[in-house]
């Protein structure tokens, strides 16, 4: 089975973002660490550099919302949970697509041999 450098890099990036979201899930939206916000901002820039504009925008919105929420005494009704769910769904779809592409490449190579 052959995986290209591009697919591998995307898979690693998406897995890193997925792990970051898992950390956020465990800590909660109200007790976000500075390191988590810093990592979100880093991943926002990295996904933009990879050409994943939608993922970059969603991460930026989540980061901004979490930063604002930390400064408020009374927690507002916001859409952070919906945004979080969108991110999880998007990443899951992307990782599934990479796996499908790997399987298709494998079977094409098998047919050619």
Number of domains in the chain: 1
- Which string of b and e fits 8-17 if b means at least 16 CB within 10 Å? eebbebbeeb
Residue numbers of the domain that contains 47: 5-112
Between 103 and 84, the higher pLDDT residue: 84
Q: What is the mean pLDDT of residues 88-107?
A: 92
Q: What confidence score (pLDDT) does residue 28 get?
A: 85
How many Cα atoms sit within 13 Å of 45 on the Cβ side?
5
- pLDDT single digits (tens) 49-65: 999 999 999 999 999 99
């Amino acid at each position: 089975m052959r995986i290209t450098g591009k697919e591998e890099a995307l898979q690693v990036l998406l897995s890193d973002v997925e792990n970051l979201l898992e950390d956020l899930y465990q800590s909660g939206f109200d007790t976000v660490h500075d390191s988590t916000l810093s990592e979100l901002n880093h991943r926002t820039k990295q996904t933009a550099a990879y050409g994943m504009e939608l993922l970059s925008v969603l991460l930026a919105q989540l980061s901004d919302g979490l930063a604002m929420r930390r400064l408020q005494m009374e927690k507002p009704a916001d859409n952070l949970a919906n945004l979080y769910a969108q991110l999880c769904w998007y990443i899951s779809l992307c990782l599934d697509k990479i796996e499908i592409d790997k399987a298709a490449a494998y079977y094409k190579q098998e047919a050619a041999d």
